[in-house]
Chain A
Amino acid sequence: MAIDRQFIGFRLAPFTVTVDGAKLRQFSAAIGLHGTGPLPTYLKVIEGEGNSSRKILAALGVELSHVLHAEQEFEYHADFHSGDALTVERTVSDIYERKGGQLEFIVVDSVIRHAGGELVGRTQQVILVRHPTPVVAA
């Protein structure tokens, strides 16, 4: 079933996440780092804490077993540290199809800011939805 294009522009409620040092360390360990260091992909974790992509897919009525992560982008502006409160706004910025609708792509943009408004970074995720091939009657 095709995703309703009315969801283009769907803006999720903004939320605030306090960066947790224990979670930063847990994430570092999970990617094989000893101690702490820069974590260029951690903004994806931050944005998922309030409005995970899974939650967005559920809102759009997309079956989880049909999706794959197709693309991911990060743009970095200001650093953040343990204890910082970051606000996250996520928007479904586009939905488009390929292969006659067999594949659909959902684009989710996020903007992450410090409590004072300073831009920390932007992310863009492209989610691929693989619709099962319809059975064609002989």
Chain B
Amino acid sequence: MSGPLQHAVVGSAVAQATFGPLDREDLRRYAEASGDLNPLHLDPAFAQRAGFEDVIVHGMLGMALLGRLLTDAFPTLKLQRFRTRFCSVIPVGRPIVCAAKLAAWHGAVAEIVLTAAPLGGPVSIEGTAMLALPGSG
């Protein structure tokens, strides 16, 4: 599915990958590596006080997985912009399905629409990325 983007039909899926499942140890490792030590991702008691059943996956870890989807699938393209909206939390212990669709071309720049969702669950992260073809500046 991750063939040359130039040949993809606008509106079609261009990349998909399933990551995880992520467990608490993965969250601790990400917290230490990223410096985001918010206890919402580390301490179940704190997460419950915040209104969740258990610790939740860092939104930025989910976004990093979407980033991997892009850089794995399109290593020669230049990422110009990358934005996400975190619409619902990603629970621990569930595989995370990341998908990319070609939304449009703006000259030599592809607009990619992204989603990340726990397997069988609602979309947790919606995103957009702008990827420029090599040599297009």
Contacts and interface: CB of A to CB of B under 8 A. Distances in A.
B6 interface: no
A68 B82 CA distance: 19
B100 to A, nearest CB: 13
A66 B30 CA distance: 21
Nearest to B65: A31
B82 A30 contact: no
Contacts of A74: 81-83
State which size class the interface on B falls in. Answer: 35 or more
Interface stretch (B8-16, B35-43, B102-110): B35-43
A130 B51 CA distance: 11
Interface residues of A, number: 33
Given A40-B67, A41-B63, A76-B79, A65 B50 contact: yes
B71 A37 contact: yes
A41 B64 contact: yes
A64 interface: yes
A99 B58 CA distance: 25
B33 interface: yes
Contacts of A64: 38-40
A124 B63 CA distance: 14
Contact of A26 (B33, B40, B46, B59): B33
Contacts of A97: none
Contacts of B61: 30-31
A18 interface: no
A66 B47 CA distance: 10
Q: Which of A26, A31, A65, A73 has the most CB of B within 10 A?
A: A31
A60 to B, nearest CB: 15
Given A38-B67, A65-B46, 16 more contacts: A27-B34, A30-B26, A31-B61, A31-B64, A44-B60, A54-B36, A65-B40, A65-B50, A68-B89, A71-B84, A72-B83, A73-B81, A74-B81, A76-B81, A76-B82, A124-B83
Interface of A: 23, 26-27, 29-33, 37-41, 44-45, 48-49, 52, 54, 64-66, 68-76, 124, 130
